[in-house]
Amino acid sequence: GVKSKKLEEQATKQISDILKIDNFDIIYTSGATESNNTAIKGICEKYKNRGKRIITTNLEHSSIYGPLEYLEEQGFIIEYLKTNNGVIDLNHLKELLANNDVLLVTISSVNSETGILQPINEIGKIVKEYPKTFFHVDMTQSIGKINISFDNVDLVSFSAHKFYGIKGIGALLKRKNIIIEPLIHGGKSTTVYRSGTPALPLIVSMAKAIRLSVNSIEENLSKVEQYNNKIKKELSKYNHVHINSNENSIPHILNISVDFVKPETLQHSLEEYDIYVSTQSACSSNNAASRAVYDVTKSEVYASHSIRISLSHLTTEEEINKFLDAFEQIYIKFNNLYK
């Protein structure tokens, strides 16, 4: 028990040092979904007397919309920010905050379907002008992939498997001066904010995964950018392919639409070549048009025909070429069928 406690403390310190978050508590969770629920419900339950308004976007993960819908049933008011080319309108944010009864702003740093990166630091500076308002950021798609600042945020969610840690472990970072109501009660664990026996092997593995990803972040990013640019260049020659990700997107996520074939059909056709893409984020409702793609493109056709290509520094040039060859064969096949 003593050895285990020491190992847990060492892992926690390593995460804190690497991410430079000495002024945050690290609350270990089962993943980003639990972290998002803990942050949103925990703040709204603890500080509900401050206000009933929550500001978010149309670019969030379902683990944000789920707790927001729950809170809406409890009397909270959810307001959605306008966007320009996928990036939130900062003037609209200022307008909504001017009501003075906004309790929480919750915005993902990177959209999981389009890769759109939000100006988190600038948003945080605006929210800071309202001391009664908290700023929560879902950084699941950015930690370990790009450099991002924690300076102006209050709560941060992420999951280890997004930077090659083991599934089943994530964290909620919470500024030490903030108190939240726990989602899981039952006494102190690693903190008082999440009860349960600490998953020590997972905690230690996450610390190592963060170290490995952050230490090589620039080199990895450069490699992924090259892959992304190559795919975009090759796919742009097809008349019926629209690239939904844009200049505001990180290179790890490339969203495209092929307007004459259903995304599920394209997905299953690529599977025959052992190539795996997603039609939406893994937790999205099936058979629905992508809310995030529509917000960026304002096109029902693109939103209902989108697929997401995920790239990483472990992807190889050979795999990129294999995808492009397979895509060409599938495109020609379906183009001839639907002429």
CA 257/CA 254 separation, integer angstroms: 10
Which of 155, 119, 116 is CA-nearest to residue 24?
155
Beta pairing, strands 77-80 & 53-56: parallel
**Per-state percent for the chain, helix, strand, coil, to nearest 5:** 40, 20, 40
- The backbone region for 293, taken as left when phi is positive above 0, alpha when psi lies in -120 to 50, beta otherwise, is alpha
Catalytically annotated residues: 283
- CA atoms of 55 and 228, how far apart (whole Å): 32
Please give the Cα distance from 167 to 164 (Å, whole number): 9
Q: How far apart are CA 266 and CA 323, in angstroms?
A: 12
Q: Supply the DSSP symbol for 163.
A: G
The long-range contacts involving 165-168, CB below 8 angstroms and separated by at least 24 positions, are 165/202, 165/205, 165/206, 165/208, 165/209, 165/210, 166/201, 166/202, 166/205, 166/206, 166/209, 167/31, 168/30, 168/31, 168/199, 168/202
Residues β-bridged to residue 88: 83
The 3 state secondary structure assigned to 51-120 is CCEEEECCCCCHHHHHHHHHHHHCCCEEEECCEECCEECHHHHHHHHCCCCEEEEEEECECCCCCEECCH
Calpha distance 30→13 (Å, rounded): 19
